[in-house]
């Protein structure tokens, strides 16, 4: 697979956050003003959301959006930055979720101690699943990740009492610090949103750090990156592990939000939907994954669609996005925004 094709495969160039001035120095550049404004606006909205009295249904949808978006940020890192797509991401989430559930059921370990374990194990699993990508690329690798997901579901279903077989496992509520009751939906919302904001900031930092630039170099021209002394294999596995860590955090949050997990949650189809959301939202713009998660989670509710109709709608949406907006919805919006700004500037210049 040539570097050219890989770039084509991801998005049309020019819409990414990576189109920064080259030759910038310093560990992390200062974010431009419009990024800061956007970030503060989103943060304010996230904090204010429960005060609009959204009701139980919308608040729980918002929580679902939150942990889905966290997993999507991991996938976007892997797909958008390193250029490797996988349809096994729900499986990695499952590793995190089941780690937490098994720790809770076997050893009675609660959320806060299980959190690092889930993140670590998911990162490890993602790194392992990522190993074949060094040898086989493109569609072959996607099929391998698909097989991994299917295998995981079979293993979880046949795991007997340890994994709860087909019925799955239950967990208790999160023991909140300082007497905060996290069984209450609004407090759970704030916990998930905190995690979401952390992963947003982490994504921003990773993309704009020297590490992000290294990944960029690998994605654009792998032989060249290797020639200038970048250990491409190491960094690729690294990005898998990072993406797995996000998925692990998402998995444990999902487990403690649902309080009951079972194998079908982590099969091939949930993975496909995650891939779909990333494509729909756009993998490279910072808010793309969040937008994808919002669209997919809220569309059925807002549009009044039953689950089957909404799945058809996702499918059609995916086709339209690929054919018309290869950079995703957020990429399309970003392009529109930039062309408007450009026109304005040209008008000012006369």
Residues making contact with another protein (CB under 8 A):
1-2, 4-5, 8-9, 85, 87, 132, 135-136, 138-140, 142-144, 146-148, 150-151, 154-155, 157-158, 268-269, 272, 275-276, 279, 308-309, 311-312, 314-319, 322-323, 326
Min separation Cβ 86 and another protein, Å: 12
- Residue among 149 and 245 whose Cβ is closer to another protein: 149
53, 153, 250 from 28: Cα distances, Å: 39, 41, 26
- Residue among 176 and 326 whose Cβ is closer to another protein: 326
Min separation Cβ 317 and another protein, Å: 8
Structure tokens at 2: 């040539």
Structure tokens at 130: 């990522």
101, 172, 209, 285 from 104: Cα distances, Å: 5, 8, 36, 37
Cβ pair 329, 295 in contact under 8 A: yes
- Residue among 155 and 302 whose Cβ is closer to another protein: 155
- Residue among 137 and 173 whose Cβ is closer to another protein: 137
73, 128, 161, 330 from 276: Cα distances, Å: 13, 23, 33, 14
- Residue among 261 and 325 whose Cβ is closer to another protein: 325
Min separation Cβ 55 and another protein, Å: 28
Min separation Cβ 275 and another protein, Å: 7
149, 159, 210, 216, 342 from 18: Cα distances, Å: 31, 44, 12, 8, 19
* Nearest-angstrom CA–CA distance, 133 and 148: 13
Sign of the CA dihedral 130, 90, 197, 204?
positive
* Nearest-angstrom CA–CA distance, 156 and 140: 25
- Residue among 2 and 231 whose Cβ is closer to another protein: 2
- Residue among 3 and 206 whose Cβ is closer to another protein: 3
Reference 265, options 250, 244, 277, 278; nearest CA is 250
Min separation Cβ 284 and another protein, Å: 15
Min separation Cβ 279 and another protein, Å: 6
Min separation Cβ 316 and another protein, Å: 6
């Amino acid at each position: 697979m040539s570097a050219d094709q890989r770039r084509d495969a991801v998005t049309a160039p020019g819409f990414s956050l990576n189109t920064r001035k080259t030759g910038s120095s310093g560990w992390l550049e200062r974010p431009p003003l419009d990024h800061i404004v956007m970030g503060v606006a989103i943060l304010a909205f996230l904090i204010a959301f429960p005060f609009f009295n959204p009701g139980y249904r919308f608040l729980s949808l918002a929580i679902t959006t939150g942990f889905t978006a966290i997993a999507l940020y991991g996938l976007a890192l892997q797909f958008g930055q390193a250029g490797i797509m996988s349809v096994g991401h729900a499986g990695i989430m499952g590793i995190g979720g089941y780690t937490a559930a098994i720790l809770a059921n076997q050893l009675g370990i609660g959320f806060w101690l299980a959190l690092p374990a889930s993140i670590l194990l998911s990162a490890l699993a993602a790194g392992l699943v990522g190993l074949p990508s060094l040898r086989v690329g493109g569609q072959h690798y996607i099929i391998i990740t698909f097989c991994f997901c299917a295998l995981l579901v079979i293993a979880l279903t046949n795991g007997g009492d340890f994994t709860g077989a087909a019925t799955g496992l239950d967990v208790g509520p999160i023991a909140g610090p300082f007497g905060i009751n996290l069984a209450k939906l609004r407090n759970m919302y704030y916990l998930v949103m905190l995690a979401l904001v952390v992963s947003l900031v982490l994504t921003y930092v990773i993309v704009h750090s020297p590490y992000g630039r290294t990944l960029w170099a690998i994605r654009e021209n792998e032989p060249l990156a290797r020639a200038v002394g970048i250990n491409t294999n190491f960094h690729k596995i690294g990005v898998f592990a990072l993406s797995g860590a996000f998925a692990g955090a998402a998995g444990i949050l999902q487990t403690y939000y649902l309080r009951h997990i079972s194998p079908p949650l982590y099969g091939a189809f949930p993975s496909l939907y995650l891939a779909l959301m990333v494509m729909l939202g756009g993998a490279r713009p910072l808010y793309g994954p969040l937008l994808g998660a919002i669209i997919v989670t809220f569309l059925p509710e807002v549009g009044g669609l039953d689950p089957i109709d909404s799945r058809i709608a996702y499918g059609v949406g995916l086709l339209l996005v690929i054919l018309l907006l290869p950079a995703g919805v957020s990429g399309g919006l970003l392009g529109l925004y930039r062309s408007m700004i450009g026109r304005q500037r040209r008008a000012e210049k006369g």
